[in-house]
Amino acid sequence: MIVAERKPIAKIEEMVAPYRKVLVVGCGTCAAVCLAGGEKEVQILSEELRLKAQASGRDQVFDEVTLTRQCDKEYLELVASRVKDYDALLSTACGAGVQFLAERYDTTRVLPALDTRFIGVTLGAGEWQQRCVACADCILDQTGGICPKTMCAKGLVNGPCGGTNHGKCEVNPETDCAWTLIYNRLKKLDHLDLMREIAPMKRFKPSTHPARFQHMAYKRLDGDA
C-alpha cells in the first residue's frame, strides 16, 4: 500500500489560512490504513483546524467528507455537488489522489494535507516499511521474494557488495544486508543456484513521465492489437 503521514499542523494551518470555507476530503483506503487520512483522521484534523482558527480569531469553516478512494473518478463525483460551496479542498490522500482531485475540480484550490512516503507493508501497529520502488522491472523471482532495489542501500541487483559485515549493511550497521537476507531465503528454498546467475544491467535510460499503463483487455476494446 502507499504509506503517507500528515504534514505538521502549523504547515496545514498556513496553507488554509487564506480560505474561509474549506472541505477536508479524506481517503478511505491507503491513507486510512496508515492512520493518516481516513474518516477518523479527517475528523481530528478538522477539529484541530477549527480550534486553531478560533484561537487566532479567523472566521473559518471546516467541513468533512471521506471518499472510498481519491484515485478513481467515480468516487470523486460523489462530492461534485458540494465543491462549489467551498473556497478550497484539503485532501488527506496520497500525492496521486491530490492530483486527481485537483484535475477533477480545477477551478477550486486543492491543498495536500499529507506527505507521501513510499509503497510498503505493515510491520506492526503503527509501523510500516518500504518494500517496493515501483521500478517496472521486477526480479523477485530471482531473489527469493526480497527486492534488492528497495532493501539494499546501494540498490545492487548483483550482490553482496564488499561492505557487508556479519549480515549487516555498511551504510547502516543496524540494517540487515539485503543480499544476506536473499542468500538465507534462497538457501531455505534450496535455490542457491540463483545466486550464481548474473542479473543483466538495468535500463538506465531517460524515461517519459508520467508513466502510463493500460490493461490488455481494454486495449482490445479500443481496437489495438
**For position 217, what pLDDT does the model report?**
77
pLDDT in tens, 126-135: 999 999 999 8
**Across all residues in the chain, what is the average pLDDT?**
92
Question: For residue 202, is pLDDT > 90?
Answer: no
Beta strand ranges found along 21-113 (DSSP E): 21-27, 61-67, 88-91, 109-112
Q: How confident is the model at residue 137 (pLDDT cuts 50, 70, 90)?
A: confident
- Classified by CATH at the fold level, domain 2-118 comes out as Rossmann fold (3.40.50)
CA distance 72 to 28: 12
Q: Is 159 exposed, middle or buried (0-12, 13-18, 19+ CB in 10 A)?
A: buried
Give every strand in the sheet of 114-124, ordered side by side: 2-6, 114-124, 127-132
Average pLDDT over residues 153-175: 93
Instruction: Kindly report the number of other CB atoms within 10 A of residue 83's CB atom.
Output: 18
pLDDT in tens, 68-78: 999 999 999 99
Average pLDDT over residues 98-119: 96
Question: For residue 193, is pLDDT > 80?
Answer: yes
Give percent of the chain with pLDDT exceeding 70: 94
Question: For residue 124, is pLDDT > 70?
Answer: yes
Question: For residue 225, is pLDDT > 60?
Answer: no
Please spell the DSSP secondary structure of 159-208, one letter per residue: ---TT-BTTB-SS-TTSBPHHHHHHHHHHHTT-GGGGGSPPPPP------
**For position 203, what pLDDT does the model report?**
64
Beta strand ranges found along 34-184 (DSSP E): 61-67, 88-91, 109-112, 114-124, 127-132
pLDDT in tens, 19-44: 999 999 999 999 999 999 999 999 99
**For position 222, what pLDDT does the model report?**
61
Length reported for the chain: 225
- Return the domain boundaries, the chain: 2-118, 133-196
**For position 118, what pLDDT does the model report?**
94
